Each structure stands twice: as C-alpha cells, then as structure tokens.
Amino acid sequence: MPPSIVDDVSYAEDMTSDSDDALTWDGDDGVAPKTPAPKGSDREASVPHGDASDDAALPDGWNAVGRGSEAVGHVDADGTVTMPDEQEPAHLSTAMLLTLGIVGGVYLLYSIGWVVGGLRLKPLANLIVADAMYVPWFVLAVAAPALWFLAVWVLTRAKAAWIRIGLLLLGVVLLVPWPFVTVGVIGS
C-alpha cells in the first residue's frame, strides 16, 4: 500500500516496522531502560530524580506531586514565591466539616448517654463492686467518646480524609453507651 498523501505531505515515509517504536518518543536516544536501576548503581546516579531546588515554584492552580514535591514552592498572583514551610495549612472541605460536626454531636450524645446510663446502673453495680472501682471506670466511659475524637483528630492529620472518617465511624460503632441502651430511661 503506498503512503497516503494529504496536502502534499506523506505520513508514512518515516515509519519503521520496529515493535519498540510504540514505546519511545521522538527525540529519545533510542535507549529506554526496561527495568529500574538497582540501588547504588552508576546508572541510578546518572539519572536525575527531579529534586527541586529552593527557587523552584509552581504557578497558581498547579500542584507538585511525587518525590521531592514537598520542596516545591508556590507562586502567588503578585509574583511572590511561598515555600512549603511558609504556606498556610490546608483548610477542611465543607463535607469534612459537616461530617466532623455530625460525628462530634453523636459523640457528645454518647457521653451524655454514658452519664445517664451509668448513674442508673450505679445502684445495681454497687451490689457487685465498690465505689472505688466503679467511679474511675465510669469517668473513663464518659470521657471515652471525647478521647476517641481527639485521638483520631491528632493521629490522622497527615492521612487521607477517608481514613479519618473511617476511624471516626468506627468509634461511633464501638462507643455505644450500652448502659443507656439496655437500662435507658425506664424505671428509676
């Protein structure tokens, strides 16, 4: 089949039958490594890793990703470069704020449930254990939802949002105030 000619330009004249042509880009030197270089090899030392220097910065709307991205600054609209250590922390999204508010409200209700259920359970518990044993565990049970929320908040600051939400929802399942659920407001 002859090469096609459109507008006096032949599009098939430089084609080769080499199957590796699909894996190269025009301008490559023809040597494309098929496997990564072993650690400490000469080839690894000669390949630049794209480490950013102190004066590297990205314009508005661009995000650096990958190895060395934490060293890339940000160019503001007025042309000033803000390095990562000078940048403001990322703000929470509206969905995350709503989720945190709802789960925080559930935890507050759980604490109230532990107080009500624990106080209603106290006369029955005094038949089995002394106050010296009951009161510390009662206080810990009341504080557990707040402690869980605080621990998840602090320990997942650098993690993905779904991890934080997952752990908060796990706390909603684990911290149910069972004395309130079982005894509730019935009787007195």
Quick: pLDDT tens for 108-137: 999 999 999 988 888 888 889 998 999 999
Quick: pLDDT tens for 16-53: 666 666 666 666 565 555 555 555 555 444 444 444 44
The better pLDDT of the pair 87, 151 is held by 151
Q: What was the pLDDT predicted at 45? A: 46
The Cα angle at residue 118 between residues 113 and 120, in degrees rounded to 5: 100
* Across 55-79, average pLDDT: 64
In the Cβ-directed half-sphere of 107, how many Cα atoms lie within 13 Å? Answer: 21
How far lies 34's CA from each of 20, 24, 37, 110, in Å? 11, 11, 9, 57
Quick: pLDDT tens for 136-175: 999 999 999 999 999 999 999 888 889 999 999 999 999 9
User: What is the rounded distance in angstroms from the CA atom of residue 119 to the CA atom of residue 129?
Assistant: 14
User: What is the rounded distance in angstroms from the CA atom of residue 144 to the CA atom of residue 183?
Assistant: 19
Pairing of strands 73-75, 57-58: parallel
Q: Token pair of 112, please?
A: 């109230």
The overall pTM is greater than 0.75? no
Q: Token pair of 92, please?
A: 């929470």
Q: What was the pLDDT predicted at 39? A: 56
* Across 61-78, average pLDDT: 64
Assign 90 a pLDDT band (cuts: 50, 70, 90).
low
Q: What was the pLDDT predicted at 60? A: 66
